[in-house]
A and B are shown apart, each in its own frame.
Chain A
Amino acid sequence: MSKSNVSMTVRQLNDKHSCVDIHGEVNAFAENALMDAYAQATSGGAHTIILNFSGLEYMNSSGIGLLITLLIRASRQKHQLRAVGLSEHYRQIFELTRLNEAIGIYSTETEALAL
């Protein structure tokens, strides 16, 4: 029985940037949704993927593990990940797990696109 409680929508922002809007829970059961969204986000040639966490309701340590494996996949394909919409709570978790040193964190999508 699937315990996935997450939905992800992909938006092509321009020819170099895509955005994955994450809604719900990021845990071990979100793996397929996350990897499918990443594949969709990069299928049009985008090399910078913005992960929008403003709809994130819950994340456990398995969720962090998923983000790490996604980061490795992106890195091997010469893609870059950026994060927007992180609440202060999730920013602290990114700091705790040192994910903030590998994924750029931005306050807004505009800021993430500007660089």
Chain B
Amino acid sequence: MTTPTPNTPQPRDSGNWAQSVDKLKATGIPSSALNLNVDGKHLTGPLKGFGQMWQKTYSVRLSGATVTPAEVIKVWKAEFPNFWPKGNRFYAPLTSIEPGEVAVLNLSVPGGPPVTAISTGIMVIYADDVSFTFMTPEGHPLAGMITFSAHEDEGATVAQVQALIRPNDPMFEMMFRLGVGHKGEDEFWQATLRSLAARFGVSGQPQQRTMLVDPRVQWSEAKNIWHNAAIRTALYMPVAMVKKVFKRGG
């Protein structure tokens, strides 16, 4: 939570925000996680990425489910990893999704085998009863914020994922320009929302709105490729395998 100033009345969102951090540190992560590219990284956000900025909004109506937005978010926070597509892992500290917490992500290639291709992370920057927001670190494919929320709309509860993102470096931007990045991102969150809907007994079909917020690339951020988590994970894997072999033999 942000640091309170003495004798100053605190706004009602003061308990919902994480404290500003310089560098991330993942703690309390299960040993089964491949924990790379998180510790020591700065948060990025959509202003710091390289590529075009997109706002993507995915939503699903939980028609027929008698569940309030707060109930949806409570379950979503508590069971967050369970809704992710197979082959992708979200490792959080045992305290679950609270402002300030840092989670490790092990992501597979969309449409590819369920093995970790990218080890990266996120930080929870905001959480309240009806929403929570992640922000990404250096090296993550996307520089941005992603908000998970639920609201009422014409008699039904709607669950939503809204991302405000830029591909973090030229390599990831190229994947987006070729359509692979967009397809992977869209399929990931649509699948997540279908799983969430099924949790409440609903077979909802997610809707999507995509908006190009900024068509310009930020050439000054091309250097972000130094942190590219896909490259770093790929370079690490052979080393990890060799270590494993020696461990077994020793």
Q: A64-B145, A89-B4, A92-B2 are in contact. Are A58 and B47 (CB under 8 A)?
A: no
Does B55 sit at the interface, judged by CB under 8 A? yes
Q: A60-B126, A61-B133 are in contact. Are A96 and B145 (CB under 8 A)?
A: no
Q: What residues of chain B lie closer than 8 Å to A96, measured between beta carbons?
A: 17-21, 43, 125, 135
Output the residue of B18, B21, B126, B128 with the most chain A CB within 10 A: B126
Binary flags per residue of B41-70, CB closer than 8 Å to A gives 1, else 0: 001111110000101000000000000000
Q: Are A92 and B20 in contact (CB under 8 A)?
A: yes
Does A39 sit at the interface, judged by CB under 8 A? no
Q: Are A93 and B17 in contact (CB under 8 A)?
A: yes
> Complex: how many Å from CA A92 to CA B126?
13
> Complex: how many Å from CA A2 to CA B55?
22
Q: What residues of chain A lie closer than 8 Å to B10, measured between beta carbons?
A: 89
A96 to chain B, nearest CB (A): 4
A-B contacts at CB below 8 angstroms, number = 90
Among A56, A72, A90, A102, which residue has its beta carbon within 8 angstroms of that of B213? A72
Of residues 45 through 90 on chain A, the ones whose CB sits less than 8 Å from some CB of chain B are 56-62, 64-65, 68-69, 71-72, 75-76, 87-90
The binding surface of chain A is classed by DSSP as helix
Q: What residues of chain A lie closer than 8 Å to B214, measured between beta carbons?
A: 72, 75-76
Q: What residues of chain B lie closer than 8 Å to A71, measured between beta carbons?
A: 47
A-B contact pairs, 30 of them (CB 8 A): A57-B11, A59-B11, A61-B126, A61-B133, A62-B162, A68-B46, A68-B47, A69-B55, A69-B164, A72-B53, A76-B214, A87-B5, A87-B8, A87-B11, A88-B8, A89-B2, A89-B10, A89-B11, A89-B14, A89-B17, A92-B3, A93-B2, A93-B17, A93-B20, A95-B20, A96-B43, A97-B43, A98-B47, A98-B48, A99-B47
> Complex: how many Å from CA A102 to CA B44?
13
Interface size on B, residues (CB 8 A): 38
A68 to chain B, nearest CB (A): 6
Interface size on A, residues (CB 8 A): 28
Among A58, A75, A76, A97, which residue has its beta carbon within 8 angstroms of that of B145? A97
Q: What residues of chain B lie closer than 8 Å to A89, measured between beta carbons?
A: 2, 4-5, 10-11, 14, 17
